Amino acid sequence: MAQSKLILDYVYGHEATRPQHLWLTQPTGGGAVADFTWQQTMDQARRIAAYLRAHNFEPGARIAILSKNCAHFFIAELGIWMAGCTTVAIFPTETAETVRFVLEHSGASALFIGKLDTWEHQAAAVPAELPCVSFPLAPESAKKRGEAWDTVLARTAPLTGQPARAPDDIAILMYTSGSTGQPKGVMHRFDRITRCGEGMLASIREAIGPDEEIRILSYLPLAHVFERSWVECTSIVEGRGHVFFAETLETFVADLQRARPTVFISVPRLWLKFQQGVFHKMPEKKLNFLLSLPIIGSIIARKVLRGLGLDSVKHAGSGSAPIPAGLIAWYRKLGLNLVEGYGMTEDFAYSNISSIRLNAPGYVGSPLPGVEVRISDEGEVLLKSPGQMQGYYKQPELTAESFTDDGFFRTGDLGEVRSDGMLKLTGRKKELFKTGKGKYIAPAPIENRINASPLIELSMVSGVGQQAAYATVVLAEEQRPKAGDAAGRAELTAQLAALLHEVNTGLADYEQLRMIVVASEPWTIDNGCLTPTMKIKRARIEANVAASVERWYGQPGPVIWA
């Protein structure tokens, strides 16, 4: 790794040596796209930098971005960095309350408003006096706040030269998605995000080879560390790749077909939904039979991947939450090299990754170069990473508590390390709970078993102080219509009872579930049951059902319909 080089140095290098290289492709509606070469990107970024400089904000001023993924997010961030400021990205699905909290807590000096679905609800959280610039794809009502991006570009001359940042300047103030309590602001320095971008690029190149073009679709939230590090920063360091953006959920397949990604990163819930979509078109047993046939099997596998838009993928990754081992095996049967990784906001998602050479069911991989992992006496995973955060913004006490005396970060995850360095996560320290039997239960491994079923979209294991644990489940989307009539519900009840028996067979007696409860409605970001990165909010879900739990335990049978 070139230790003296920082991420803006890479940007200036691409601007000078590959100005006509097409870097970003943004859908603009109706099948049309806007393309941005490095020269076009930097012309706009330099104008945004000059605009911000003209405000005479304090050095390191926090500039917020509230937007779904788009090319203008990348361009705005480069402008923010060149202007001497720090980026604060807010999840585009956040409530007004959280938007207000992040703007106030960060002390944001300005806000870029982009593609949004719920701006009408979020608008009240933005102070009237806060300078705002709306991206071209922002909602029409948002364009009435402040100035339009194109207007700013038209009247502002580009910033000249190569403004530099110090290695220990804060590049990104990244707010966690808040699965428990208020989001925390994680400070990331320029030198560390650069080292991570270099290390991640080396890992991708090792997987796909030195010459394969890196084409990637950006659709997971850029406000989250996963997408920011493995997509944006890696592509900035690389310079010769091509980043495509998704337009909407409805156009997702078309967006994938346009990008034909060679690298594709997702989260377990989406890998599961892709699989369930395939099973909806062809029953699982029939597909498995066809895949087992010589010659025909490989043709069918290619057809399935082509239908998903993943037939060009050379390297596929899953992160953010545990993924069932069976799901990885299924994709590999199709010929997709899906590997699992592990990282968090606090280490800029630079921690562990599996490879085709070294992987195992239930393991999240071995440490990336420069990462040290050890297990505490209590079983907690402790980490040192080149991407280690500078600390939590305005929370020095919490920062101090989060590190050991010798500088290892306390992840809050429980795990074990194999002799070859492979890490297995066994649960979250804070999620452990005791039933009336007095032994601790880790819910995540049990949830993984449940989530492996094509009947299930999401699950949560709970039961603090009860006679036994139980699981609440959200049915897979294509299963939900069956619940509407008596025959369909009876069939699902029988299938869920069989699933419960199967899951319990593999558990210790104190872990075994008393029942499966079918949630009355899906858990979503909008109803507050999922974080913006689609992790379940346990406390919220448990609070929602608290009044019903005793009644459920009083009912006979293994399956309860909430």
Where residue 387 sits, what CATH number does that domain have?
A: 2.30.38.10
Q: Is pLDDT of 1 > 50?
A: no
SS3 sequence of 205-224: HHHHCCCCCCEEEECCCCCC
Residues 66 and 175 in one domain: yes
Residues 287 and 330 in one domain: yes
Q: Which of 378, 397, 427 is the last residue of a domain?
A: 427
Residues 147 and 17 in one domain: yes
Residues 532 and 496 in one domain: yes
Q: Is pLDDT of 469 > 80?
A: yes
Give dist(CA 173, CA 346) in Å, integer: 11
- Whether the CB-CB separation of 35 and 28 falls below 8 Å is answered with no
Domain-located, residue 372? yes
In this predicted model, what pLDDT tens digit does every residue of 57-108 receive, in sequence order?
999 999 999 999 999 999 999 999 999 999 999 999 998 999 999 999 999 9
Residues 78 and 141 in one domain: yes
b/e code 463-492 from CB counts within 10 Å (16+ = b): beebebbbbbbbbbeebbebeeeeeeeeeb
Residue 357 CB-density burial (10 A; 0-12 exposed, 13-18 middle, 19+ buried)? exposed
End-to-end CA distance of the chain: 55
For the chain, give the percent of residues with pLDDT over 70: 99
- Whether the CB-CB separation of 237 and 7 falls below 8 Å is answered with yes
The CATH number of the domain holding residue 157 is 3.40.50.980
| Phi, psi (degrees; rounded to nearest 5) at 300 | -60, -45
Residues 505 and 410 in one domain: no
Q: Which amino acid is at 82?
A: M
SS3 sequence of 493-539: HHHHHHHHHHHHHCCCHHHCEEEEEECCCCCCCCCCCECCCCCECHH
Residues 167 and 269 in one domain: no
Residue 400 CB-density burial (10 A; 0-12 exposed, 13-18 middle, 19+ buried)? exposed
Domain-located, residue 123? yes
pTM of the model: 0.86
Residues 410 and 445 in one domain: no
Q: What is the dihedral of CA 473, 535, 321, 101, to 10 degrees?
A: -170
Residue range(s) defining the domain that contains residue 514: 432-561
Query: Which letter does DSSP use for residue 334 in this model?
Result: T
Domain-located, residue 356? no
Q: Is pLDDT of 480 > 90?
A: yes
Helices 38-53 and 71-82, packing angle to 10 deg:
50
Residue 136 CB-density burial (10 A; 0-12 exposed, 13-18 middle, 19+ buried)? middle
Residue 260: pLDDT band with limits 50, 70, 90: very high
Give dist(CA 473, CA 447) in Å, integer: 9
Domain-located, residue 235? no
Residues 469 and 379 in one domain: no
CB atoms within 10 A of CB 513: 22
Domain-located, residue 214? no
Give dist(CA 110, CA 53) in Å, integer: 12
Residues 155 and 181 in one domain: yes
Domain-located, residue 352? no
Residues 400 and 511 in one domain: no
Query: Which letter does DSSP use for residue 157 in this model?
Result: P
Domain-located, residue 15? yes
**DSSP-assigned beta bridge partners for residue 258:** none
Q: Which pLDDT score is estimated for 3?
A: 56
Residue 415: pLDDT band with limits 50, 70, 90: very high
Residues 443 and 381 in one domain: no
Residue 272 is encoded by which pair of tokens? Answer: 């599961």
Domain-located, residue 24? yes
The radius of gyration computed from the CA coordinates of the chain, to the nearest angstrom, equals 24
Q: Which of 208, 243, 274 is the last residue of a domain?
A: 208
**Helices and strands (H, E) in the chain, number of each type:** 19, 27
- Whether the CB-CB separation of 523 and 447 falls below 8 Å is answered with no
Q: What is the mean pLDDT of residues 99-127?
A: 96
Q: Across the chain, what does the average pLDDT equal?
A: 93
Number of domains in the chain: 4
